[in-house]
Amino acid sequence: MRGSTGAKGEAPTINDVAALAGVSKKTVSRVINKSPLLTEPTRKKVEAAIVELGFVPNPQARALALRRNFLIVLLHDNPNAQTVQNFQKGVLQTIGDSDLALVVRPVDRTSDGMLEDVRAFLEKHRPLGVLLLPPISERDDLAEVCRACGVEYVRVGSAPLDDEAHCVASNDREVVREACKALIAAGHRRFGFVRGPAGFRSALEREEGFRDAMNGAGVAIDDVLFAQGNYRFDSGIAAGNQLLLATPRPTAIFASNDEMAAGVMHAAKARGIDVPDDLSIVGFDDSPTASHLWPPLSTVRWPIVEMGRVAARKLVERYLPDIDDDEKELPTRLPSTFIDRGSIAPRPD
């Protein structure tokens, strides 16, 4: 009878399910944990017994059987808090109806002991998997630590970093090229560029996209019009002040993220330079900052929430509730899109 209990009126156990289905307790455990090592008739028989008894798997018992805790660890050393928050949002959308929990673990990529600290953490907490955000996702030695600890991982980046099962990437280079083509089509020929932090693959990919667009259109690249940033607002102000001192000054500036683009806009307005009539500005991310500025910032919409959702799915899909067949094919690369708002104006000359 559906919802019946085990001995002495207690809640049904895995042993009760095994007895009703006529299989071993190990087979029941494999069904619960989505193991592929089962025939479809056996799986259906066990699932029917689970429904009939109203059996609810115990997450702690499952973790013990797997010798893993039902945890996903997000490792990051990213200076952009909004990026981390948006990625978490995507992960939580995926695991919200499961027994899984998310643990966020900041690390210091400049520390000589980072790898050993991560190894000790993984060995102590035994998570089901690890999600690696850039820039640390770009380190092959960190992925090797995960493998050595027997922990599944997915690396997130601005370009493919691993095989399809262990990677989710965006198309930064291509989309920045398209954004800069829009500026060129608006008549701009003198460009400034605000770089992202040194050592970040995203910074490299975005700069390469900028250079591709300039070279493709035959627009001269002036090394004087490159400024270093670190993805933070104050570095955008400093970069804007530097670029706007150039003679002649640029008529358009591409900043490698929205925070720095906002800083450039702040620097321009402090100098009495009108945006967009005197200076067009484009950012990257499509963070809330972009739409809150005036004029609203033209930018690249980076699908970081969707990247978090897909990365989590790749990592722990077999522990999740049943999903639709049309959602089972998970992409490795997710496209970003250029959003043209109010911070671009055509050049009359």
In this chain, the answer to whether the domains covering 65-170+304-334 and 172-302 adopt an identical fold is yes
The pLDDT assigned to 50 comes to 84
Closest CA to 107 of 92, 117, 120: 117
**Distances 141 to 144, 150, 236, 290, 333 between C-alpha atoms, Å:** 5, 14, 32, 35, 22
Residue ranges covered by each domain of the chain = 7-57, 65-170+304-334, 172-302
Task: Please name the residues in contact with 272: beta carbons below 8 A apart, sequence gap of 6 or more.
Answer: none
Question: What is the distance between the alpha carbons of residues 212 and 226, in angstroms, rounded to a whole number?
Answer: 15
Count CA within 13 A, CB hemisphere, residue 30.
Answer: 15
The pLDDT assigned to 64 comes to 43
pLDDT digits (tens, 9 = 90+) for 96-140: 877 789 999 999 999 999 999 999 999 998 999 999 999 999 999
CATH 2.40.30.30 at 65-170+304-334, yes or no: no
Q: By the 8 A CB rule, do 221 and 214 touch?
A: yes
Class of domain 172-302: alpha beta
Choose between 227 and 27: higher pLDDT: 227
Q: Residue 6 pLDDT more than 60?
A: no
The pTM assigned to this predicted structure is 0.77
CATH superfamily of 7-57: lambda repressor-like DNA-binding domains (1.10.260.40)
pLDDT digits (tens, 9 = 90+) for 312-322: 999 988 666 55
pLDDT digits (tens, 9 = 90+) for 244-280: 999 999 999 999 999 999 999 999 999 999 999 999 9
